[in-house]
Amino acid sequence: MTPLLDLAAHVATLPTAPLGLFGVDLEQLLADAGPWVLGVVALMIFIESGVLFPFLPGDSLLFTTGLLHQQLGLNLAVLLLTVAVAAVAGDQVGYMLGRWFGRRLFSPTGRILNYENLDKASAFFARYGGKALVLARFVPIVRTFVPLTAGMARYRYRDFAKWNITGALLWVLLLTFAGVWLGNVTFIREHVDLIVIVIVLVSVIPVGLEIWRENRKAKARLAAYQEEHGKPLNPES
């Protein structure tokens, strides 16, 4: 199993945030923030992106904010710019924490920050490079973990910054505009919770596609080996 598949399988066993922030209705949370709503959204995205608190609902937060931005009195361009900067800055903090503190942030028995995950993520970067940073953006929990590991693995900062910005922009634009566009449909306005569920499901599609590609490659390698050697591939050899 590849490092990406290992990491994805492990993430599937981790607890995730409920719809909303620990049971709090996101729509109500945003409304209660009043004039501070933009700062609240940016702060939550920043914290989830790089301050080792992976259980904030970043995907559903972006979608809901896009859906309700007019009611909240938010200028869409300002919203997109502010949240994108927060996402990039959060990942930068995560990267620097990993670079400065290294393995001291991990423990052998940690639920998420353990040595096994560090080794998998290091191999993940060695194989996938910048693509890992973009894919991770769309996977809850992993997007918090990956920048930290990139710093620990001493991934070149210039490359990290380039792919970090690319991934953050794609994530913010796609999730926020999904809310904006779908918000014009009456059904969507009346079924926000259902849409949040859909967004969470969509957010794991990149991992699913990568698993599918890896399975195809593995089958092709096995078929080629059997054709060349005329016998089954022994995994232990």
Count the domains in the chain. Answer: 1
Task: Kindly state whether residue 211 falls inside one of the protein's structural domains.
Answer: no
Task: Kindly state whether residue 224 falls inside one of the protein's structural domains.
Answer: no
Query: How do residues 63-122 score in pLDDT, each as one tens digit?
Result: 889 988 988 999 999 999 999 999 999 999 989 988 888 777 777 766 666 777 667 666
Residues 6+ apart with CB under 8 A from 213: none
What is the pLDDT at residue 1?
A: 45
Task: Kindly state whether residue 150 falls inside one of the protein's structural domains.
Answer: yes
Query: How do residues 140-192 score in pLDDT, each as one tens digit?
Result: 777 777 888 888 878 889 989 999 999 999 999 988 998 888 767 767 655 65
Range of 13's domain?
A: 3-203
Task: Kindly state whether residue 215 falls inside one of the protein's structural domains.
Answer: no
* Distance from C-alpha of 141 to C-alpha of 127, rounded to nearest angstrom: 21
Task: Kindly state whether residue 219 falls inside one of the protein's structural domains.
Answer: no
Task: Kindly state whether residue 31 falls inside one of the protein's structural domains.
Answer: yes
pTM of the shown model: 0.68
